[in-house]
Amino acid sequence: MTTPNWERSHAEYCDETGIYRGHITAKDYVSILADQVHPIVQTLFPNGDGVFQDDKTPVHTAHIVHDWFFGHEDELRHLPWPPQSPDLNIIEPLWSTLERKVRKVYPPPSLLSELTTVLQEEWHKIPLENIQKLHLSIPKRLQAVLNANGFPTPY
């Protein structure tokens, strides 16, 4: 894995948000991968050198999800992520930022539709530079885990 792979993200793909109500099943996750992730990966990594990272939640480890990645292994590498590993996905600090912003909204949303609107509005207020910095920090985050022999890191 090299830094140039992480640097190839493009701004137009960072501002899309999807609000999913209820529990996401493995079948839902495969649909998200096929309908949303795959087209972006094909555009950003036409040579098949993209890397996809998720955690080990049951939805991500389901057989149909594994089968989907196996069927697309020439287009996208699925980063192996051992159980009990630190969660270094850049979405985690973004969720924290989004949560802080939503908690500051006054009056707080009282309906699900209001919350959905606030979430989307606040997501779009997160500067693209913040997302890009997180993207570029991935190799550093991975190296920190290696240096700490898998123990906790500042990330």
Is residue 41 in a domain? yes
- The model's confidence at residue 18, banded by pLDDT at 50, 70 and 90, is low
Q: Which domain holds residue 105?
A: 86-148
Is residue 154 in a domain? no
- At 76, give phi and psi (nearest 5°): -155, 130
Residue 14 has pLDDT above 70, yes or no: no
Is residue 4 in a domain? no
Looking at the fold, whether 20 and 39 belong to one and the same domain comes out as yes
Looking at the fold, whether 73 and 102 belong to one and the same domain comes out as no
Q: Distance between terminal CA atoms of the chain? A: 19
Structure tokens at 12: 């137009």
Whether residue 27 contacts residue 64, with contact meaning beta carbons closer than 8 Å, is answered with yes
Is residue 9 in a domain? no
DSSP state letter for 116: H
- The model's confidence at residue 11, banded by pLDDT at 50, 70 and 90, is very low
pTM of the model: 0.68
Q: Give the residue carrying structure tokens 């630190």.
A: 86
Please name the amino acid found at residue 31.
S
